[in-house]
Structure 1
Amino acid sequence: MSSIYTAEALATGAGRNGHVRSGDGLVDMDLAIPKEMGGPGGATNPEELFAAGYAACFHSALQGVARQAKVDLGESTVGARVGIGPKDDGVGYALEVTLEVVIPDLPHEQAQQLADQAHQVCPYSNATHGNIPVTVTVSDD
């Protein structure tokens, strides 16, 4: 692979209770462990950032496969839920992802086909394939 773009970010402070800043300064925010994980909450966390990136990337991939198929997606959306929890073997933590695709103006089967194609070309999907469970669902609303 030959990179055409490289993003950079630096984490400082206390990791999940620290700060992140991208190389260009567009991302510049505090982090906090969610209350559900015993932290203070009140700031974003790595899972939210991953969910935002995956949703945006997958939506872009969906738009690309739709363009190739000459299909208008209309007011489509992609939502991502990233879960974190202890690994089954009790050593460390693991992630899981659910992507929810909504394409209101397409029949469910056609929307599912486009979502499945997007899952084959999305860089985030390719990075997670075989590493964490990713479920792609299509909702009608």
Structure 2
Amino acid sequence: MTDDTAATTDTAVDTRPTKIMYVAEATAHGGRDGFVSSLDGQLALQVAMPPALGGDGNGTNPEQLFAAGYSSCFHNALVLVGRRAGFDLTGSTVAAKVGIGPNKQKGYGLAVALSVSLPILDQGIAAKLVDAAHEVCPYSNATRGNIDVTILLG
């Protein structure tokens, strides 16, 4: 699951897993106007182009799925680092916005904005926990340096 031919530099941090503990499997039929399902049957969704991209919007789309995955993964990382630091994160939430648009290479790119709410914590402590979660979260590690990720603490 890794590309051993990828060039790395001495200053790059290697965030690849040393051991695969779980593998999710899903299949798409019909691309953005079709159906996606997971091998275990837990996911079975109609996929449709959103109206903003010329579709009818009668289904979910890859950007919504990415937003759901990133927000839940980041929130789990946040709870983990909070617990390790001795903080109760009851009532905390993470919302994700995933944008798509053309890039300079005549393809498409993504941008993410995460909105984190830690209502019972001091802003300074909350900011430190968010920074720590951003280092732990697998989605953050996978996207770092590849897409713009903005984290808003409110």
TM-score range, shorter chain: over 0.9
State the partner residue of 2:119. 104
Deviation at 1:125, TM superposition (A): 0.2
Q: Indicate the SS of the match to 2:81.
A: helix
Q: Which runs of 5+ in 2 are unaligned?
A: 1-17
Q: Which amino acid aligns with 1:71?
A: F
Q: TM-score, normalised by structure 2?
A: 0.87
Contact 1:116 1:136 in 2 (8 A): no
Which of 12, 15, 25 does residue 29 from structure 2 map onto? 12
Deviation at 1:11, TM superposition (A): 0.4
State the partner residue of 1:74. 90
State the partner residue of 1:34. 50
- Per-residue deviation, residues 58-107 of structure 1 (Å, max 9, x unmatched): 000000100110011120000000000011x1511000000111011111
1:51 aligns with 2:67: yes
In 2: Cα distance, 1:94 partner to 1:57 partner: 21
Which of 103, 123, 130 does residue 145 from structure 2 map onto? 130
In 2: Cα distance, 1:78 partner to 1:33 partner: 25
Q: Aligned-pair RMSD on alpha carbons?
A: 0.8
- Per-residue deviation, residues 29-59 of structure 1 (Å, max 9, x unmatched): 1100000011111210000000000000000
In 1: Cα distance, 2:90 partner to 2:124 partner: 16
Q: Which runs of 5+ in 1 are unaligned?
A: none
In 1: Cα distance, 2:57 partner to 2:97 partner: 18
Contact 1:65 1:118 in 2 (8 A): yes
In 1: Cα distance, 2:89 partner to 2:56 partner: 40
In 2: Cα distance, 1:105 partner to 1:29 partner: 36
Number of residue-to-residue matches in the alignment: 137
In 1: Cα distance, 2:123 partner to 2:50 partner: 35
